Chain A
Amino acid sequence: SQTIHQWPATLVQPVGSPLSLECTVEGTSNPNLYWYRQAAGRGLQLLFYSVGIGQISSEVPQNLSASRPQDRQFILSSKKLLLSDSGFYLCAWSGRDRYNEQFFGPGTRLTVL
């Protein structure tokens, strides 16, 4: 069966510090991968998605970036965090069928102070 991992689970970082969040998927190959953010009390905001290694599409301009160095690894990064980057970050994957059903990881709670 497929599983998706995210780490760390929680993170507290000072403003201006760098960020690296990692997501890995097991049990499937060539998945579509996604990064979402949930600000407090708000819905899901799609940040990035990837249909293959090295292929990244950005949905919202910001100081975050994403990379996909391996088929089942997706990394969210920032060089300098802002207060507004605080939130709950979710990684998800979907298969190559037409339905695009997405499967979510457990999330990372990021607090920028």
Chain B
Amino acid sequence: AQSVTQLGSHVSVSEGALVLLRCNYSSSVPPYLFWYVQYPNQGLQLLLKYTSAATLVKGINGFEAEFKKSETSFHLTKPSAHMSDAAEYFCAVSTYTGGFKTIFGAGTRLFVKA
């Protein structure tokens, strides 16, 4: 069975600073990994996904993530935070053998200070 752990339920950065949101996964078979963003009272929107092609994945709004098999990690980064990045971020994993379920992490709320 697969699982996802997001380190830090809350992360606070200053505007213009590096954003780093951590995600570690557990899977006995090759995983597919996703980052979603959720703004208040809205649904989740896909930021980026890893589907076994390039290990460095670029997404929308300047975000990117790197799949590191040796570390079982898929951390989300953005070089310079913007106020509009304040939201909740979810890491998720699915596998070809996992049926039709995707496992979501508990989420990390990102605060951006002016």
Interface residues of A (CB under 8 A from B): 32, 42-44, 46, 49, 51, 88, 90, 92, 94, 98-107, 109
Question: Contact: A100 with B94, CB < 8 Å?
Answer: yes
Interface string of B90-101 (1 = CB under 8 A from A): 101010101011
Interface residues of B (CB under 8 A from A): 32, 34, 36, 41-46, 49, 51, 90, 92, 94, 96, 98, 100-102, 104-107
Question: Contact: A98 with B42, CB < 8 Å?
Answer: no
Residues of B within 8 A of A104 (CB): 36, 43-45
What residue of chain B has the Cβ atom nearest to residue A9's Cβ?
B41
Nearest CB on A from B87, distance (A): 14
Residues of B within 8 A of A32 (CB): 100
Question: Contact: B34 with A44, CB < 8 Å?
Answer: no
A104 to B46, CA, bound (A): 9
Q: Which single member of B51, B90, B94, B100 contacts A44 (CB below 8 Å)?
A: B90
Q: Which single member of A46, A88, A101, A105 contacts B34 (CB below 8 Å)?
A: A101
Residues of A within 8 A of B105 (CB): 43
A49 to B98, CA, bound (A): 14
Residues of B within 8 A of A90 (CB): 43-44
A107 to B36, CA, bound (A): 15
Q: 13 A-B residue contacts at CB 8 Å?
A: A43-B104, A43-B105, A43-B107, A49-B101, A98-B32, A99-B94, A100-B32, A100-B102, A101-B46, A101-B49, A102-B102, A104-B36, A105-B43
